[in-house]
Amino acid sequence: VITLNIDIIISADDIKLEKVKNKTVLIIDVLRATSVIITAISNGCSSVIPVVTVEEAFEVAQKDRGNCIILGGERRALKIDGFDCSNSPLEYTKEVIGGKTLVISTTNGTRAIRGSIGAKTILIGALINAKAAAKKIINIGDDLVIVNAGTYGQFSIDDFICSGYIIDCILKQTNAVISDIAKTAQYIYSENTDINGFVKFARHYNVMKKLNLEKDIEYCLKKDIVRVVPEYKDGKIEHPLKEAL
Amino acid sequence: VITLNIDIIISADDIKLEKVKNKTVLIIDVLRATSVIITAISNGCSSVIPVVTVEEAFEVAQKDRGNCIILGGERRALKIDGFDCSNSPLEYTKEVIGGKTLVISTTNGTRAIRGSIGAKTILIGALINAKAAAKKIINIGDDLVIVNAGTYGQFSIDDFICSGYIIDCILKQTNAVISDIAKTAQYIYSENTDINGFVKFARHYNVMKKLNLEKDIEYCLKKDIVRVVPEYKDGKIEHPLKEAL
């Protein structure tokens, strides 16, 4: 049985290099960036390039015209002008994304991924791949910092309870030493294993409901429907079987 | 009925000026800096000067020899060499502190107070004065940011549940709009109104137990035994009736 330390950073704004160095970082943005990335990769997307600005997205697409590019993402939860897809995971079907490169720009998720550069391993997690993420983290065996993307620099309840679920999965299989914030997340999950009952308190959940994005919410709050745990490396997230695609 | 926004900053390391500007800040360091300051003021201490370093404490004491000075504080939860008192609130009796100036240096609490300079009002809170703090915050009527001192830059469960209790008190009397993290703190409190049951998960609680500081813990976890809500202004916290002391 291995022992690993587990901590949480509650928003993209609070990432510090010394907190992630030499560790496994798991980026979580349940509503919806990491749910989108996991879905895209799971549906055969060959690689995902997270960018911060819209201009950067167009530049990358311009440079890389040899590959089939899909531009995806959001600003204020809505599709970006000139982009192919919004930030709805339901749009990233096998037909749309299979074999293609996704250039994605989202408000919080992309900043969290970019901010974590310097970690030993950067993995992409959400509720839809939570158990698989826990398994991969244990296999790697390094200390874990879960980075919650949050919403505009603020703590977000949906990311926090997802962190709690993943910590709960890890604790069932290891002697993890968890920080006070990691314990709090795991407690919140253990009292609300249905997820929905607590996520309804999240501000961003209510913003999305007002935008009629209930189907996205329903999908993103499903546990463990995907087995892939994407890894960010050298500026992109590649499909684990890219050569075979 | 007034409406105010409530947010929490989870550690002294995460304070940013734009988050506290024009707001009421309530500093919380349950174990033990703010519990000490509240106790000292309540027992007739004429003013408290929080300093960051031990050197600064000696300098301030040197300059201000006209007043009766007590040097207090801790490093790694223990008394500092050459100081009069440790960071135990039980030492700050009327006999010891009445009419005197307390120069205090603590690891986390002092940094949280100093870091909050720039807020409109800076109040000192803990479990022992929670209800009084809620009342004062409502009377002032500005948006509230609760700053948890935390432990060495980390989120601390004891400060978080105390924040939750104070938010719960405020919500009973106002239409406060609370952030996701404030909601989470209030939820934790509402599920653990006895405080002790959840605080036992705190790392710092367990460090203190190992140092045989159970009596301090027991005192600091008492709710609402003090009515005074000290205010930090111009580098110090003065007794509200200083002229009459």
- Give pLDDT, residue B64: 77
- Give pLDDT, residue B245: 64
- Give pLDDT, residue B187: 98
- Give pLDDT, residue B65: 72
| pLDDT over threshold 70, residue A243 | no
Percentage of chain A beyond pLDDT 90 is 88
pLDDT, one tens digit per residue, over A225-242 is 999 999 999 999 999 887
Residue for token pair 């919500």: B171
Rounded Cα distance between A106 and A85, Å, is: 12
Q: Burial, B243: exposed, middle or buried (Cβ in 10 Å; 0-12, 13-18, 19+)?
A: exposed
Q: Burial, B135: exposed, middle or buried (Cβ in 10 Å; 0-12, 13-18, 19+)?
A: middle
Q: Is B216 helix (H, G, I), strand (E, B) or coil?
A: helix
How far the first Cα of chain B sits from its last, in Å, is 36
Cis preceding linkage at B32, omega within 30: yes
- Give pLDDT, residue A152: 87
| Contact status, residue B162 vs residue B188, Cβ threshold 8 Å | no
| pLDDT over threshold 70, residue A1 | no
- Give pLDDT, residue B153: 86
| Contact status, residue A74 vs residue A127, Cβ threshold 8 Å | no
Residue for token pair 């870091």: B115
Residue A79, amino acid: K
Quick one: average pLDDT of A146-175?
96
Rounded Cα distance between A199 and A222, Å, is: 12
For residue A182, what is the nearest residue in chain B, using CA coordinates? B155
Q: Is B110 helix (H, G, I), strand (E, B) or coil?
A: helix
Task: Provide the sign of the torsion angle of the four alpha carbons B34, B40, B43, B47, taken in this order.
Answer: negative
All residues of chain B having their beta carbon less than 8 Å from the beta carbon of residue A202 are 180
Quick one: average pLDDT of A109-135?
96
Cis preceding linkage at A65, omega within 30: no
- Residue A192 sits at the chain B interface (C-beta within 8 Å): no
Closest CA to A198 of A162, A167, A230: A162
Nearest CB to A179 within list B14, B154, B184: B154
Give this complex's ipTM.
0.93
- Residue B5 sits at the chain A interface (C-beta within 8 Å): no
All residues of chain A having their beta carbon less than 8 Å from the beta carbon of residue B14 are 14
- Give pLDDT, residue A179: 97
Residue for token pair 């979580």: A28
- Residue by residue, pLDDT tens for chain B (245 residues) are 678 999 999 999 999 999 999 999 999 999 999 999 999 999 999 999 999 999 999 999 998 776 799 999 999 889 999 999 999 999 999 999 999 999 999 888 988 999 999 999 999 999 999 999 999 999 999 999 999 999 888 999 999 999 999 999 999 999 999 999 999 999 999 999 999 999 999 999 999 999 999 999 999 999 999 999 999 999 999 998 876 66
Quick one: average pLDDT of A109-113?
91
| Contact status, residue B168 vs residue B186, Cβ threshold 8 Å | yes
- Residue B89, token pair as written in the block: 């609130």
Closest CA to A89 of A123, A138, A41, A140: A41
Quick one: average pLDDT of A90-96?
97
The single-letter DSSP state of residue B6 is E
Pairing between β-strand A101-105 and β-strand A47-50 as defined by DSSP bridges: parallel
Q: Burial, B130: exposed, middle or buried (Cβ in 10 Å; 0-12, 13-18, 19+)?
A: buried
Nearest CB to B183 within list A151, A180, A201: A201
Closest CA to B45 of B95, B119, B116, B111: B95
| Contact status, residue B127 vs residue B220, Cβ threshold 8 Å | yes
Check B201 against A183: CB less than 8 A apart: yes
Check B180 against A14: CB less than 8 A apart: no
pTM, two decimals, is: 0.94
Distance, in angstroms, between B200 CA and closest chain A CA? Answer: 10
Secondary structure of chain A in HEC code, one letter for each residue: CCCCEEEEECCHHHCCHHHHECCEEEEECCCCHHHHHHHHHHCCCCEEEECCCHHHHHHHHHHCCCCCEEEEECECCECCCCCCECCCHHHCCHHHHCCCEEEEECCCHHHHHHHCECECEEEEECHHHHHHHHHHHHHHCCCEEEEECCECCECCHHHHHHHHHHHHHHHCCCCCEECHHHHHHHHHHHHCCCCHHHHCCCHHHHHHHHCCCHHHHHHHCCCCCCCCCCEEECCEEECCCHHHC
| Contact status, residue A30 vs residue A221, Cβ threshold 8 Å | yes
For residue A203, what is the nearest residue in chain B, using CA coordinates? B180
* Inter-CA distances, B158 with A57, A67, A237, B132, B184, Å: 44, 53, 39, 19, 14
All residues of chain B having their beta carbon less than 8 Å from the beta carbon of residue A9 are none
Check A180 against B202: CB less than 8 A apart: yes
Task: Provide the sign of the torsion angle of the four alpha carbons A52, A204, A34, B19, taken in this order.
Answer: positive
Rounded Cα distance between A190 and B192, Å, is: 14
Mean pLDDT score of chain A? 94
Residue for token pair 């546990």: A223
- Give pLDDT, residue B1: 64
Nearest CB to B160 within list A7, A160, A184: A184
- Residue A160 sits at the chain B interface (C-beta within 8 Å): yes
Rounded Cα distance between A168 and A178, Å, is: 11
Q: Is B243 helix (H, G, I), strand (E, B) or coil?
A: helix
All residues of chain B having their beta carbon less than 8 Å from the beta carbon of residue A180 are 151, 154-157, 160, 201-204
Rounded Cα distance between B125 and B128, Å, is: 8
- Give pLDDT, residue B3: 84
